[in-house]
Structure 1
């Protein structure tokens, strides 16, 4: 059984967000996948089954402690592994808990993923959220998964120092902190914290951009934007809003490949 570590949303080694990719020959128990994800210790590990009769590839994602319904960087990693190791069409489809996800690679090895938009609704921050983040909010919203807190500047995003124990008590998958970018080459910046699902700070979060892209596209008046995630590793997500869908595009590099002996 083959296993990989892939750095997603980057074209440099040791940048972006590392994801595990496990290529399965046959279906396996959920508990086994959870154990492998805990052993890999990446924020997400993707489990990929071979496609049947040209159909979509079954794909699931696990953090070290739980399964998640959508993961951008591990989907990008899984697609990168297929493109790198097999003869496959330039457009791939994955069957997931979030429906059929389509992925395409261009001639520059930029991989684009068609994801559902997760539009935010303005909300009053729940008790403890802002204190746990230690920021001054400009706007707060929520979608089916996450809270988003806009702050006044890129510097405020960088300065955020959450209390992860308190943040874990917030009833949401995670919390996005974001602001308009001041750096060249980006339109908005963000960080993503998800201690409730075992990921204190995620280096680059594709699924968070399903909320960030429509939010900033509406504010900035453009369907095509570039988001920079300001974790220690850092990474870039190129976004295009198309109605109720968001295209997330980025590069990926394989850091490790090997065999799983269990």
Structure 2
């Protein structure tokens, strides 16, 4: 008796991948060093955006906290190594190209393939522009950090973008820049803040908008009687229609059990609970995030939440570089640096690809 084929469907499915009408996708676990942790996001690569109804149905089919769609715009050479959305000189795309940007490179150009004299190449930087949209299972959202990390990971991991090159995503939250940083690559040069450090391992760094948190009174959470009855509430804030509740301890966050019906009825679209990491955890703060109105009871690791939580804890702790842990069942780690000079939040994380395939319909 012969040895059975360990992948009996591989040959049968081989023809599916060659059909041009089928669409590539990958599922990425973001803010995690290993598979089946962090926050999963589906990344769908399209030649052009499809009908919103179709994109929403696909997001509901994946039923992950986020599904994102990528469409390529261009690849360009720009002068200098410092390329940020905040630069004053911009072309009509919003990306700074200074006075001597080149024509678009061929699609898929990779690190080391740019044809230019060596001296001139040292003064130029390759950027890739993509349109990016995010959908939770119920509707399109304005910003998703973990799906942005997932989309970036797909581009870097597949070689569509070189590890020393920059991605600019055109989104509903403006222009977002992403690069890889690490001991073999060096630190990103895109921040004006001081005290940046090169991580010990390769990570993806996202330049995201700052979300301001304003203090709120305890009366703003008085309807959450069941949700907050067993915890100590230190402070309450509002950040872009989302409720931030600081609890008394890391253990309060870890053991938190919200009443989802109360969250559905409150006047905020989401609830973030957070607390100091304490003296021995190794983290500056911990958090958990709940979005039942979006069809996501608990978001395992929420990047956009840390656009508010990062500045909140930066002010409270008096430091700009923070290490955070989202204490969901899956769990995830985020390195955060807030830049008060330009009002941006830099999130660093790792990711793992756990699925890849094609959409047939």
Q: Distance between the aligned counterparts of 1:171 and 1:258, measured in 2? A: 40
Residue 129 of structure 1: how far off its partner (Å): 3.1
Identify the residue that residue 79 of structure 1 maps to in structure 2: 152
**1:255 has 2:354 as partner:** yes
Give matches, 1:115-154, under 5 Å. Answer: 115-124=208-217, 125-134=220-229, 135-154=231-250
- Stretches of structure 1 lacking an aligned partner (at least 5 in a row): none
Which of 155, 161, 172 does residue 88 from structure 1 map onto?
161
Partner of 2:16: none
Q: In structure 1, what is the equivalent of residue 116 of structure 2?
A: none
| Distance in 2, Cα, partners of 1:215 & 1:110 | 23
CA contact (8 A) 1:25 1:50 kept: yes
2:228, 2:145 → 1: CA distance? 24
User: Partners of 1:206 and 1:232 in 2: how far apart?
Assistant: 16
1:27 aligned counterpart, secondary structure: coil
- Kindly report which structure 2 residues correspond to 1:40-189, keeping only aligned pairs within 5 A, or say none: 40-52=62-74, 54=76, 56-89=129-162, 90-106=165-181, 107=185, 108-124=201-217, 125-134=220-229, 135-182=231-278, 183-189=280-286
- The total of aligned residue pairs comes to 262
Normalising by structure 2, report the TM-score: 0.70
Given that 1:3 and 1:21 are in contact with CA atoms closer than 8 Å, whether structure 2 keeps it comes out as yes
Deviations 1:131-156 (A, max 9, x none): 43443311000011311000100011
| Counterpart secondary structure, 1:114 | strand
SS at match of 1:28: coil
**1:8-52 residue CA offsets vs partner (Å, 9 max, x unmatched):** 001111110001101112220111110000000110011111123
SS in 2 for 1:51: strand
Distance 1:23 1:194 in 2: 26
Aligned partners of 2:144 and 2:303 also within 8 Å? yes
Residue 86 of structure 1: how far off its partner (Å): 2.8
Report Cα offsets for 1:40-69 as digits up to 9, x if no partner.
Answer: 011001111112354621001001011110
**Quick check: 1:112–1:250 contact (8 Å CA) kept in 2?**
yes
TM-score, normalised via structure 1 length: 0.96
Quote the offset at 1:88 in angstroms: 1.6
Q: Name the SS for the 1:129 alignment partner.
A: coil
Higher strand share: 1
- Of residues 224, 227, 244, the one that matches 2:321 is 224
The answer to whether structure 1 residue 25 and structure 2 residue 47 are counterparts is yes
Note the alpha carbon deviations across 1:188-246, whole angstroms, 9 max, x for none.
00000110111100100000001111110111111000010000000001000002110
Greater RCO, 1 or 2 (C-alpha within 8 Å, sep 6+): 1
Deviation at 1:126, TM superposition (A): 4.2
Cα distance in 2 for residues equivalent to 1:9 and 1:130: 32
Q: Name the Cα RMSD after superposition.
A: 1.4
Larger Rg: 2
